[in-house]
A and B are shown apart, each in its own frame.
Chain A
Amino acid sequence: MPELSGIGIGRGIAAGPVARMSPPPPAPVDASSDLTAEEETQRVKKALDEVAADLDQRGHAAGGTAKDVLEAQAMMAQDPSLHDAVETRLQAGKTGEFAVHEAFAEFRTTLEQLGGYLGERAADLSDVAQRVIASLRGLPAPGVPDPGHPFILVADDLAPADTALLNLEQVQALITIEGGPTSHTAILAREKSITAIVGVADAAELSDGQQVIVDAGAGTVITEPTEAELSEAESRRAAHAAEKAAPITPGALADGTAVPLLANLGSAKSTDKAVDLGAEGVGLFRTEFLFLSADEAPSVEEQRESYQKVLEAFPGQKVVVRALDAGADKPLSFLNDQPEENPALGLRGLRALMANEQILKDQLTALAQAQENTEADLWVMAPMVSTVEEAEAFTVMAKEHGLQTAGVMVEVPSIALMADELMSRTDFASIGTNDLTQYTMAADRLLGSVAALQDPWHPAVLRLISQVGAAGIASSKPVGVCGEAAADPLLAVVLVGLGVNTLSMSPAALAEVRAELKLHTLEQAKSIAAAALKAATAVQAREFATGAAKKS
């Protein structure tokens, strides 16, 4: 039974034919053309027109923000300055492919030098160049395939622009060669509940039309499935679908120990979906959406309205609101306009709020007012806390504003190591595993080349979580997890075994985690966690936990 392995996202299983994302064509070499400049001009014009028409059509089909991006790309293909740059090279006797390649590269360099938003447009330009070169060579357009029947998508990795165009009705599963558990593909798969395995290095061997079974729970791709394996996969798929359709019950272990399952929300819009999927409250309400599109902080009144909408959806339930977490990947000019060499280590999170105290005070005032007007149990927490002094200062300030329960995020190793001292100065801790992993492993969570280090199963991360869990138990104060780790069903059991009381995740992940928790008692969760803690590597931690879980 030949199989390939990778990092499974969730526990779905699917079988079907492979459709590969066409790879970009190899870069053309500088060779003289056998055709006349006039003939090359005609060829290039035809290719540019075709690509522009195709992009326009795809934009029309996609709608929304993808439409603007694709139409802008179509305009790039028709750009008069670009045509001039191509023509100059054709007149010099270059091939159409090389002229296009070089002319696009020239504009790409200009955009990259401008940086920021324009740097990102440079990637759009490369995509257009590759489409034109593929067209000149008579190759299929690089990008998302559309074979017209259900398929299993195999790609190096998926960019947001690719996923915007993905026909999710037809995609049975995703396999990516690169990417880790927090890659864009993994996050998309979790959000949309798509069966996926990322980081399957050997998936490059898979060819179009080949039948495979994708078993995310085991993290394996079976490449030559037998009839028996296919029918077993089908019955497991049906069982998994039934599990996800199972009646929604409060999160609990097999022995009845309650583990409230909460939702991560990024705006007031997604509350209904969270309630439908059985969220027992909100474990992380991100407030950045109110600030990101603004030149200055929104007024207390505007903020109160937004907070109130979320609180109203969860009467009598817990809603944990995180104070503005700006900086690093989401800079806000009115908080910090100084360029920084290392923004992830810079003036961000609570540090930026303390440097702009009025913004924090306004936010706390708006939250206190929203609490007055609603029935929800409002908790508030500070992002990116490094020291116990910061934790204490935030907690005191929140209470002065009339907020009863104030805590902090544990995302920085320094505060995890000080968890016992932390707990006596604040009301609760919520572990943000994505950043905690990034800072523990010193690996930028957005950088593909170090994605393998961004694995919350790493024993170094588990040991830090274990310290925080122990401090929570010793002080009888609640500890939650609100990172991607909580959405990984087996890791969720490990977290509970380490002393975590509540799990917060994208609503789509709730059903799988709920089902997994029901399989283990608290004693068993503790032994599974103990097994994972004994590991030397992330891979081993997964193996040990899987082995221990089978005994439950």
Chain B
Amino acid sequence: MSSTRTVTVASSQGLHARPAKLFVEAAQAAGAEVTIAKGEKSVNAASILGVLSLGVEKNDEVLLTAEGGNEEQALDSLETFLKTDHDEAS
């Protein structure tokens, strides 16, 4: 069993720099195995190198997939994260 969710990324720098690091930290703490995909390419959301290599920009759609543990809760927290502009806050 696994759950998926499609999210539009809000951070003005996409998932580069600081937001990428914060996202990976959130994914590591999410309590499920999460992958993030942009187009054809899918990577482990707990891997900063994987997440950076997706080159996610603002307004890109990404697909989150969670497996094991508390899937829905993990997706909820990561969806909220991606919908927030983390560059604005800093």
Contact = CB atoms under 8 A, between A and B. Distances in A.
Contact of A114 (B20, B43, B53): B53
Interface residues of B, number: 20
Contacts of A72: 17-18, 20-21, 48
Interface string B20-37: 110011000000000000
A82 interface: yes
Interface in A177-221: none
B21 A110 contact: no
B4 interface: no
Contacts of B21: 68, 71-72, 75
Contacts of B20: 72
Contact of B49 (A68, A107, A117): A107
Contacts of A443: none
B55 A118 contact: yes
Interface in B1-50: 12-13, 16-18, 20-21, 24-25, 43-44, 46-50
Contacts of B24: 75
Given A71-B21, A72-B21, A295-B12, A121 B52 contact: yes
Interface centre among A81, A114, A293 (most CB of B within 10 A): A81
A118 B52 contact: yes
Contact of B47 (A79, A114, A117): A79
Contacts of B43: 81
A76 interface: yes
A469 B25 CA distance: 57
A79 B50 CA distance: 9
B47 A81 contact: yes
Most chain B Cβ neighbours within 10 Å, of A75, A80, A110, A114:
A75
Contacts of B47: 79-82
Nearest to B20: A72
A81 B16 contact: no
A111 interface: yes
Interface residues of A, number: 19
A114 B55 CA distance: 7
Contacts of B17: 68, 72, 117
Contacts of B52: 111, 114, 118, 121
Interface string A109-147: 011001001100100010000000000000000000000
B26 to A, nearest CB: 12
A243 B21 CA distance: 47
A293 B46 CA distance: 28
A209 to B, nearest CB: 38
Contacts of A125: 49
Nearest to A115: B55
A111 B49 CA distance: 8
Contact of B50 (A68, A81, A295): A81
Contacts of B46: 80
B53 to A, nearest CB: 5
A118 B17 CA distance: 8
Contacts of B55: 114, 118
Interface in A63-95: 68, 71-72, 75-76, 79-82
A110 B16 CA distance: 14
Contact of A117 (B16, B25, B87): B16
Given A80-B47, A111-B53, 12 more contacts: A68-B18, A72-B18, A72-B48, A75-B21, A76-B48, A80-B46, A81-B50, A110-B53, A117-B16, A118-B55, A293-B87, A295-B12
6 contacts: A72-B20, A75-B25, A79-B49, A82-B49, A293-B87, A295-B12
The 8 closest A-B pairs by CB, nearest first: A81-B47, A75-B48, A72-B21, A114-B55, A107-B49, A110-B53, A79-B49, A81-B50
Interface of A: 68, 71-72, 75-76, 79-82, 107, 110-111, 114, 117-118, 121, 125, 293, 295
